[in-house]
Structure 1
Amino acid sequence: MTEDPTAPSPARRVRKLLARSVDDAQLARPVLALVSLLLLCVMILGGSFIPVPYVIERPGPAIDVLGEYDGEQILVIDGAETHPTDGALMMTTVSVDGGPGYRVTPVEVVAAWFDRSKMVLPKEAVFPEGQTREQTVLNNTAAMSTSQQGAVAVALDELGLEYESVVMIAGVEEGAPADGTLEGGDVIVSVGGETASSLEGYRELIRATPEGRTVPMRVRRAGEELDLEVPSEMADGSPRMGVVLAAGYEFPMDVQIAVGDIGGPSAGMIFSLSVYDELTPGALTGGHQIAGTGTIAVDGAVGPIGGIRQKMVGADESDAEFFLAPSANCDEVVGYEPEGLEVVAVTDFEDALDATETIAETGSAEGLPTCEDVNNE
């Protein structure tokens, strides 16, 4: 039996096998690369929708307190003589993405980093850890309510008008035991038949309510006194109704400031100027468009706020000519003023009133303190 001369030798068979393996490997490379690319795209796409622990502050609307919001007159004063006015006193706002109950994605955060009108902050720098959406709404509502009360008090002090200090319900948490029984703005007359002279005094009376009992309260609402049995639940050994109690005032006139669901204390200074404007003859602004921000204390001090850069952008986009900024925020203002918006630094209500009257008379902020002046002191 002889060897077939056409049959491949063992060495040749090995070479062919190796060549076929190389060809298969070369064919597999682009397939593997394509699969890897697809997996990477899926990972990136999926990651772009994963919530991240940041919030994004962006410009909100600037709202003329002397005008309307959502078709409703913002400032309404009954029981006192008011006067027609002109121009605008704009409260400025910040919209926050990523608060409790909401989320932002990595894509949104990266885009905000490259937008000078937005600010990216760690979530815990804005909202306490564990705070719920309902608690956030309650805190913002209470802050807005107490801010409005303090603003009216400052304006009446400037006019020499007297008012009475009270303890009030500044806000009621949605879904809390007191929801549907107490209302924001209720003035506390007594708890369990007893009165107190201070905020802490009423808190002590509420804490003394036996476990499992409702809290008997008398409140004054819209001029009428009501006897209520307020449901509560025990939390940390004390009855919890789900309300915020705050120091408030009863004024010789009824002052209502309606701004929808906007919350927080930062419009206090503008509220004070607006109330003062409507209670005095003539247009305080001289017909100019003046925006601003800042908390207001009972002694008239204007306090710092968050998001002032976004508020200046919102004011500029709403055609404001001038902007009143708290002096304590001046380090965040310089270098970020929108072109054409004149920024004036104020430390208290007297400063804000003087600046507004000067603008009305001269049509200019020349000679008024700027944030550059404050930073160079």
Structure 2
Amino acid sequence: MKKRTYIAAFFFGIALAFLLIFMKLPYYVTMPGSAQNLKPLVHVEHGDRDAGTFMLTTVRMGRANVIAYLLAHIRPFYELHPVEEIRQEGESDKEYTMRQLELMEQSKEAAIVVAYRHAGKPVAYEAKGVYVMSVLPNMPAAGLLEAGDRIAAIDGRPLNSSEQMVNYVREKEAGDRVHITFVRDWKRQEAVLRLKPFPHHPNQVGLGVTLMTDYDVRTDPPVDVDSEQIGGPSAGLMFSLEIYNQLVDEDITKGQKIAGTGTIDVHGKVGPIGGISQKVVAADREGADVFFAPNEHGAPSSNYRKAVETAQKIGTKMKIVPVDTFDDAIRYLRSMPEE
């Protein structure tokens, strides 16, 4: 009898452990990630290697199991997010990962353009293609287009940017047909799709795809940016600062550790990101002296205000600096006293 009880308890323990570890809940859990030195990731040919450090900050994220779900309720700076808050409707894990990596590519391209322009170095960029990042279910493109397809033309009109396609479709009505020419696995293919209203935006019609424009950026001197499979656009500002610092003779860090976050566009505008509190924690752990946070033009719920609240909670001496543009960051760095 005792032996049978032990065996039952053993298998019950295995089943419980399996449920706690392997059963995925409809949430993602996020937590502080790392603050990573950008010097090893950015290589401007014959660029300066300065004493100070620019750091990109990250958030760790994964699907929540039961243990992670419970930890998120008791550990500081652990956060739960419903799946639909992270992934787009109908988006697979593969499509989500691809979308995040493509967003990083776009972010790096914009960072290069901004840094070279501000440093007065030759840079040129042009749109060279439109790619599918994700496909919504129950929309015209479902089952016909896939993440990674390159859209070559719509109704015979060649496409160089996603804006061209969006503007063209915007003029159409529900039920209109469009002829899509696309490339998959190096093979040119055709599809005729009938436009349909979006489920949550019945006044807008479309194909049900998320698109990305691929830019060809040419610089002198050459630059290589290795993002090491880091996804998302939030490192744009910090990449632009590191590239700029390697292009110019001065060390704009003045020997300090500069962390931060924020998207950047080709005009140097800095945009908000997710996980700001967790990134502040990560930067503080790495001993950062300064943390740049998107100011969102002073909005009450801005990344900057949230970053200041977090800094106060953890008692860091790190200076939280609001930025709306690349120029804001440069002005602050040049105003810092020498170490």
TM-score by length of 1: 0.65
Q: CA deviation at 1:169?
A: 5.0
The runs of 5 or more residues in structure 1 that have no matched partner are 1-36, 69-73, 99-103, 183-187, 217-227, 364-377
Q: CA deviation at 1:38?
A: 11
Q: CA deviation at 1:311?
A: 0.7
Q: CA deviation at 1:121?
A: 1.8
- Tell me the equivalent position of 2:119: 159
- Tell me the equivalent position of 1:353: 330
Query: Matches of 1:235 and 1:96 in 2, distance apart?
Result: 38
Q: CA deviation at 1:310?
A: 0.8
Which of 290, 315, 326 is equivalent to 2:283?
Answer: 315
Deviations 1:84-114 (A, max 9, x none): 322110011111111xxxxx22221111221
Deviations 1:194-219 (A, max 9, x none): 86665445788xx7456xxx749xxx
For 2:73, the aligned partner's letter is: W
- Tell me the equivalent position of 2:44: 77
For 2:310, the aligned partner's letter is: Y
- Tell me the equivalent position of 1:129: 89
Query: Matches of 1:283 and 1:258 in 2, distance apart?
Result: 22
- Tell me the equivalent position of 1:282: 250
For 1:302, the aligned partner's letter is: V
Whether 1:91 aligns to 2:91 is: no
- Tell me the equivalent position of 1:250: 217
Residues 42 and 273 of structure 1: CA distance in aligned 2, closer, same or farther (over 3 Å):
closer
Residues 43 and 75 of structure 1: CA distance in aligned 2, closer, same or farther (over 3 Å):
closer
Q: Check conservation: 1:153, 1:249, Cα contact below 8 A.
A: no
Q: CA deviation at 1:342?
A: 2.0
Q: CA deviation at 1:286?
A: 1.2
Which of 66, 76, 79 is equivalent to 1:116?
Answer: 76
Higher mean C-alpha deviation, range 263-272 or range 163-172: 163-172
Which of 303, 310, 313 is equivalent to 1:329?
Answer: 303
For 2:20, the aligned partner's letter is: S
- Tell me the equivalent position of 1:230: 187
TM-score by length of 2: 0.71
Residues 282 and 209 of structure 1: CA distance in aligned 2, closer, same or farther (over 3 Å):
same
Higher strand share: 2
Query: Matches of 1:260 and 1:171 in 2, distance apart?
Result: 21
Query: Matches of 1:303 and 1:196 in 2, distance apart?
Result: 27
Residues 62 and 108 of structure 1: CA distance in aligned 2, closer, same or farther (over 3 Å):
same
Q: CA deviation at 1:237?
A: 5.9
Q: CA deviation at 1:343?
A: 1.4
Whether 1:51 aligns to 2:24 is: yes
Whether 1:106 aligns to 2:73 is: no
Whether 1:266 aligns to 2:234 is: yes
Compare CA radii of gyration and give the structure with the larger one.
1
Q: Check conservation: 1:150, 1:248, Cα contact below 8 A.
A: no
For 2:78, the aligned partner's letter is: K
Query: Matches of 1:196 and 1:128 in 2, distance apart?
Result: 24
Deviations 1:110-162 (A, max 9, x none): 11221113112222112223211110111111100110111111112223345
Residues 229 and 262 of structure 1: CA distance in aligned 2, closer, same or farther (over 3 Å):
closer
Query: Matches of 2:188 and 2:330 in 1, distance apart?
Result: 45
Q: Check conservation: 1:178, 1:231, Cα contact below 8 A.
A: no
The Cα RMSD (Å) is: 4.0
Query: Is the partner of 2:72 in helix, strand or coil?
Result: helix
Residues 283 and 192 of structure 1: CA distance in aligned 2, closer, same or farther (over 3 Å):
farther
Higher mean C-alpha deviation, range 251-260 or range 41-50: 41-50
Residues 76 and 230 of structure 1: CA distance in aligned 2, closer, same or farther (over 3 Å):
farther
Q: Check conservation: 2:129, 2:161, Cα contact below 8 A.
A: no
Query: Matches of 1:128 and 1:314 in 2, distance apart?
Result: 27
- Tell me the equivalent position of 1:23: none
Query: Matches of 1:288 and 1:127 in 2, distance apart?
Result: 37
Query: Matches of 1:195 and 1:172 in 2, distance apart?
Result: 15
- Tell me the equivalent position of 2:106: 146
Higher mean C-alpha deviation, range 143-152 or range 39-48: 39-48
Query: Matches of 1:269 and 1:141 in 2, distance apart?
Result: 16
For 1:284, the aligned partner's letter is: I
For 2:226, the aligned partner's letter is: A
Deviations 1:216-255 (A, max 9, x none): 9xxxxxxxxxxx95344748569x9x99541535333232
